[in-house]
Amino acid sequence: MTMETAYAQALWKMVEGGLTPAKAVRALEVTLKVHGREALLPRIASAFARIAQRETKRSDIVLTVAREKDIHRARLSAKKYLDGMVAKSARGGSALGRDLKTQIDDTLIGGWRLEGKETLVDASYKNQLLALYNSVTRT
Amino acid sequence: MDSATVEKIIKEIGNIAPAHEGEHVGRVVAVGDGVVAIDGLSKAVMSEVLVFEEGKGKRLAGSMEAQGELYGLILNLEEDGVRATILGDTARVSEGMTVKSSGKILSVPSSEELLGRVVNALGEPIDGKGPFKKTRLMPIERQAAGVIDRKSVSVPLVTGTKAIDAMIPIGRGQRELIIGDRGTGKTTVAIDAIINQKYEPEATRPICIYVAIGQKESKTARIAQQLREQGAMDYTIIVDAPASAPAALQYLAPFSGVAIGEYFMDKGRDVLIIYDDLSKQATAYRQLSLLLRRPPGREAYPGDVFYLHSRLLERACRLSEEKGGGSITALPIIETQEGDVSGYIPTNVISITDGQMFLVTDLFNKGIRPAIDVGISVSRVGSAAQTKAMKSVAGGIKLELAQFRELEAFMQFASDLDKATADRIESGRRMVEVLKQKNGQPIPLEKQVAALYAAGHAFFLPVRVNKVTEVEKQYMDFLDGQYAKTLASIRKSGQLSEDDKKALNKAMEEFRLAHAESFK
């Protein structure tokens, strides 16, 4: 891990830990000054942006269905899992509306697929048919 | 089928409403050279198997055509993700792909069904003879047996090579390194040891596992063919990770081999495993480690390359009777460059094993084959396992050969030799001839004893040096025909009784009279 990434990660953790962004940046600035590393600041900013982008991707929850008309039914079926994922979110329940994205993928045939917060729940018909096919042909 | 029926089927499937398990997943952020960086998978553990989800966005028919599942193996746990190696074709992995954690440590299937088969480093059959029906999964990484569970080496493993069985004996549960430059006959010695096991009674015959690491496919195919022709494939399994296989599979192959062997050892069977060769495995591991950005050490190998080999070779052992009494005998092979045994990997493996046999290019080029330099070869625990019969005839051979080599060197400067010295040189020359052996022709123990007994009793002294091999062969045929009972008695008892000695003395006398022309 490069030095700027390490500083950027520390900055991210400070803010996640409850410190206001202004205070966190100020603390970082002081530390850099003490060690004579102010020149790193622009690179730390880039590294911080990369972490933020990665974390945003991580916090996304994507519900994929085969047809648009299935969205409502899928939301109901997936509620149990959605609640679990939202609980994991640092921003809590309010995050649901912001983080949940819906996608249409007709290759799923039917059912739904929920992915986010390092969890995947695949309740698509395609997945079930594939599992059936594999169990029949590959044993 | 009309669309209404299709809709009906889809609705029916929907009604089944199976319970869905949430899977722990990550996402590929970078891929290259057989290594992937994965974001997520924060709960994954080291050596866990990952499954790459290739079907996303593909139609069902396309997913069904996929060539089996693609697996990965976690080798690095990092702050913001994991790094894993792909156990298959790297081209099948793309950025953004979902990776599922399996919650399982890598295992290979093992059972009696594997005997006579060729499998890859993941235990999948690659010989076109179809899948295995009933197997048990054995973990690739397993803690070696502890001190309490072990027993000292006491049962011989006869290799069928006179020079080895007489001077560098190997016991079941031992680890004996075969080391030498390329083209000195290392693989031949190991393959002869496998072939020789056909002379063992079926109940005590070791299961043989040949692990080919980074070898040419043609060489492995030739070995499989040779074993098949000699009838040795019935009790042999070949684990093949050829030079064309990804580095990850070459690194894993020896562990797969020993995991398969442990299945048989746990059942109380003896196993002989050959790693051909560990230098190539170390090279594959170095490649992986550098790609995983682990700090390089001496010769660019990672810091844990010693542990790589020690944890593998420690799994070779002889279990106590309480644990079933099974054993794994390991014959690792190391290739040296220009006879340099002071390299990093050779010295590591020499220090781990219970002895080593050096094969030397000079001897090989002189026609002395197997080209074992007995002066620097050693077996640290094997003498405890040597049969009494072999001990009684092989006791002085090593010393005699050492003296012969010194005198032979001295002879280059001295023109006039006294009779005792000349006799010793003549005897040494014949002993070297007796120890020569053609490849693929291992000799059963009783015949080795008979040949060495004869050599020790100056039987070959009147024979011209270039005729010794031929006379020895005729003598063996003679014993086979006329003294089969004596040979059987030596084999059965493992001892050379007074009656056996008398019979052998008589046989030598009779043979000498019958072939007087060879003894002039």
Which of B205, B380, B405, B512 does the annotation list as catalytic? B380
Q: What are the chain A neighbours of B26 within 8 Å (beta carbons)?
A: 118
Find the closest chain B residue to A6 by CA distance: B79
Nearest to B13 among A107, A125, A138 (CB): A125
Residue of B52, B60, B79 to mutate for A, most A C-beta atoms under 10 A: B60
Report pLDDT for A89.
Answer: 59
Report pLDDT for A112.
Answer: 92
CB–CB of B60 and A110 under 8 A? no
CB–CB of A58 and B40 under 8 A? yes
Beta carbon pairs, A and B, within 8 Å: 66
pLDDT tens digits for range B41-56: 989 999 899 999 887 8
Report pLDDT for B19.
Answer: 61
The Cα–Cα gap between B305 and A116 comes to 38
Whether A90 shows a pLDDT value over 70: the answer reads no
pLDDT tens digits for range B139-183: 999 999 999 999 999 999 999 999 999 999 999 999 999 999 999
Report pLDDT for B64.
Answer: 79
Give the rounded percent of residues in chain B with a pLDDT score beyond 70.
97
Comparing B319 with B420, the larger pLDDT belongs to B319
Q: What length is written for chain B?
A: 520
The Cα–Cα gap between B107 and B110 comes to 9
Is B380 a known active-site residue?
Answer: yes
Mean pLDDT along residues B79-92 = 89
| CA-based torsion, B473, B474, B480, B483: positive or negative | negative
Nearest to A119 among B24, B58, B79 (CB): B24
Whether B17 shows a pLDDT value over 60: the answer reads no
- Strand duo B355-359 + B378-379: pairing: antiparallel
CB–CB of A120 and B63 under 8 A? no
> What is the predicted ipTM?
0.73
Mean pLDDT along residues B268-282 = 97
Q: Which residues of B touch A (CB under 8 A)?
A: 10, 13-14, 17-18, 20-27, 39-43, 55, 57-60, 63-64, 68, 79-80, 98, 100
The set of residues, in sequence order, having a beta carbon less than 8 Å from that of A67 and lying 6+ positions away, is: A104, A106
Report pLDDT for B80.
Answer: 78
CB–CB of A121 and B41 under 8 A? no
pLDDT tens digits for range B433-472: 999 999 899 999 999 999 999 999 999 999 999 999 999 9
Nearest to A115 among B14, B25, B41 (CB): B25
What pTM did the predictor assign? Answer: 0.87
Whether A98 shows a pLDDT value over 80: the answer reads no
DSSP string, B336-366: -BTTBTTSHHHHHHHHHSSEEEEE-HHHHHT
Cis peptide upstream of residue B332 (ω within 30 degrees of 0): no
Report pLDDT for A54.
Answer: 79
- Where does the pLDDT of residue A95 fall: very low under 50, low under 70, confident under 90, or very high at 90 and above? very low
Report pLDDT for B3.
Answer: 77
pLDDT tens digits for range B190-222: 999 999 999 999 999 999 999 999 999 999 999
- Where does the pLDDT of residue A116 fall: very low under 50, low under 70, confident under 90, or very high at 90 and above? confident
Structure tokens at B57: 């966005």
Nearest to B60 among A77, A115, A130 (CB): A130
Distance from CA of B26 to the nearest CA of A (A): 6
Sheet hosting strand B378-379, strand order edge to edge = B118-119, B236-241, B207-213, B270-276, B327-335, B177-180, B355-359, B378-379
Report pLDDT for B421.
Answer: 85
Query: What's chain B's average pLDDT?
Result: 92
